[in-house]
């Protein structure tokens, strides 16, 4: 049962769900990893499986929630676009917001908790000051975390609208400044493309895939890992279907931005887990970024970590794999003289918080 979600995300008909407990388990698994509304899209768009009525009610509810969020996001984007027009700055959207606004398949049934945008680093203060006048304020944060964001991160501290309560993340890059694979943000900004008939911009198709891959395989957090891998799957299917040169362009772009390693992992595991139709030549070409002799170890870790966050899919080894990948992500994103004090402080705060609770 642990791979039922993956089977549906491959858009294939499976006939091994027969009983009510099976459907209920699939429901819990899908909800735990944030793909229930995406399953709804596959069901209603392609009619590839025939759920019982009690399961269909949950799918309808998930769709209602997604459509409601989409309306909220569209309204927020309109308000943001008015601010950016006054500043004469392009409103560049990232991740789920970009998928939704540009009408990509990856935006169908995609739920997310905040709006992500990309702004040139030298214009961050200008944007932040303007947004304050329109109700966007930083969330409460201690001095250490404030300095940490300003000195090392690729984004400002999260903003929340004082009336509407929506959350906004303003990025100036797609990876932290301390990351070994820190890309040139100017290349991302210059290649951004306008969404037809809108005031919105998004990353180029290749950069969109590389951003999603970097977020998943360098981020160290896998609560929504299968959903994020599904994003990559849908992006690859759509972009490669529209552009015969996409795979070659994707490889060159990864080399240019220094993001070949997350590209390799995204192609490898999208193909292994979701059956994404990646040409053998593309996987072979990206393997030069992976290093030697690591595939067996990384296969074990990522295939464990990308399981749904549900007790039916995980065990002690799954938790251990996720912990190792969490440490790996910090190792790649921070030099030791920053990493050790940072982790020590986080551990101390967690211990103090647990002591208070007991």
Query: pLDDT for 82-123, tens place per residue?
Result: 999 999 999 999 999 999 999 999 998 898 888 999 999 999
Q: What confidence score (pLDDT) does residue 358 get?
A: 58
State residue 205 phi and psi, 5-degree precision. -50, -45
Report whether pLDDT(141) > 70: yes
Q: What confidence score (pLDDT) does residue 288 get?
A: 86
Report whether pLDDT(157) > 90: no
* Measured distance CA(228)–CA(226) in Å, rounded: 5
Give the residue-averaged pLDDT of 163-174.
93
Q: What is the mean pLDDT of the chain?
A: 86
pTM: 0.89
Structure tokens at 6: 């993956």
Binned at pLDDT 50, 70 and 90, residue 10 comes out as very low
Report whether pLDDT(9) > 70: no
Report whether pLDDT(237) > 90: yes
State residue 41 phi and psi, 5-degree precision. -60, -45
Residue bearing the bigger pLDDT, 348 or 135: 135
State residue 92 phi and psi, 5-degree precision. -100, 120
Q: What confidence score (pLDDT) does residue 137 get?
A: 92
Neighbours of 152 (CB within 10 A): 16
Binned at pLDDT 50, 70 and 90, residue 262 comes out as very high
Neighbours of 240 (CB within 10 A): 20
Q: What confidence score (pLDDT) does residue 292 get?
A: 57
Beta-carbon contacts of residue 122 (< 8 Å; ≥ 6 apart): none
Distances (CA, A) of 270 to 237, 294, 306, 335, 350: 11, 18, 11, 30, 35
Of 91, 99, 332, 113, nearest to 232 (Cα)? 99
Task: Render pLDDT for 304-338 as a digit per residue (tens, 0 to 9).
Answer: 999 888 888 778 888 899 999 988 888 888 777 77
Helical (H) or strand (E) element with 84: helix 53-87
Report whether pLDDT(4) > 50: no
Distances (CA, A) of 334 to 96, 288, 342: 26, 24, 10
Residue bearing the bigger pLDDT, 227 or 356: 227
CA atoms within 13 A on the CB side of 342: 17
Task: Render pLDDT for 270-298 as a digit per residue (tens, 0 to 9).
Answer: 999 888 999 999 988 998 887 655 788 89
Task: Render pLDDT for 181-195 as a digit per residue (tens, 0 to 9).
Answer: 889 999 999 999 999
Give the residue-averaged pLDDT of 64-90.
93
% of the chain residues with pLDDT over 90: 51
Tell me 156's DSSP state: P
Report whether pLDDT(51) > 90: no
Helical (H) or strand (E) element with 29: helix 20-32
Give the residue-averaged pLDDT of 249-269.
95
Owner of token pair 């089977």: 7
Of 333, 210, 226, nearest to 273 (Cα)? 226
Helical (H) or strand (E) element with 76: helix 53-87
* Measured distance CA(167)–CA(133) in Å, rounded: 16
Contact 262, 216 (CB under 8 A): yes
Q: What confidence score (pLDDT) does residue 354 get?
A: 64
Estimate to the nearest angstrom the gap between the alpha carbon of 204 and the chain centroid.
Answer: 16
Of 26, 38, 32, nearest to 65 (Cα)? 38
Give the residue-averaged pLDDT of 18-35.
81
Contact 193, 201 (CB under 8 A): yes
For 97-114, the DSSP string reads HHHHHTT-GGGTT---SS
């Amino acid at each position: 049962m642990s791979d039922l979600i993956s089977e549906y995300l491959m858009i294939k008909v499976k006939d091994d769900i027969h009983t009510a407990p099976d459907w209920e388990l699939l429901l819990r698994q899908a909800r735990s990893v944030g793909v229930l509304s995406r399953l709804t899209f596959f069901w209603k768009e392609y009619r590839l499986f025939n759920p019982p009525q009690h399961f269909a009610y949950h799918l309808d509810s998930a769709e209602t929630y997604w459509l409601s969020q989409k309306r909220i996001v569209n309204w927020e984007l309109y308000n943001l676009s008015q601010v950016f027009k006054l500043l004469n700055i392009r409103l560049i959207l990232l991740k789920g917001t970009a998928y939704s606004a540009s009408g990509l398949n990856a935006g169908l049934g995609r739920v997310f908790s905040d709006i992500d945008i990309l702004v040139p680093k030298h214009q961050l203060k200008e944007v932040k000051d303007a947004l304050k006048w329109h109700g966007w304020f930083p969330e409460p944060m201690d001095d250490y975390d404030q300095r940490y964001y300003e000195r090392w991160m690729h984004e400002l501290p999260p903003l929340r609208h004082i009336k509407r309560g929506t959350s906004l993340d303003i990025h100036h890059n797609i990876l932290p400044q301390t990351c070994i694979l820190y890309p040139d943000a100017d290349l991302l900004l210059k290649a951004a493309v306008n969404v037809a008939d809108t005031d919105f911009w998004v990353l180029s198709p290749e950069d969109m895939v590389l951003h999603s891959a970097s977020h998943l395989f360098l981020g160290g957090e896998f609560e929504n890992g299968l959903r994020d891998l599904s994003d990559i799957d849908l992006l690859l299917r759509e972009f490669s279907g529209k552009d015969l040169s996409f795979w070659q362009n994707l490889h060159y772009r990864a080399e240019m931005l220094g993001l070949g390693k997350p590209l390799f992992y995204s192609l490898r595991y999208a193909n292994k887990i979701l059956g994404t139709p990646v040409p053998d030549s593309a996987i072979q070409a990206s393997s030069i970024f992976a290093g030697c002799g690591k595939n067996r170890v990384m296969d074990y870790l990522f295939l464990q970590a990308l399981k749904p966050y549900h007790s039916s899919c995980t065990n002690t080894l799954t938790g251990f794999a996720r912990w190792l990948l969490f440490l790996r992500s910090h190792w790649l994103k921070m030099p030791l003289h920053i990493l050790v004090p940072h982790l020590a402080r986080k551990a101390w705060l967690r211990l103090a918080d647990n002591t208070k609770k007991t």
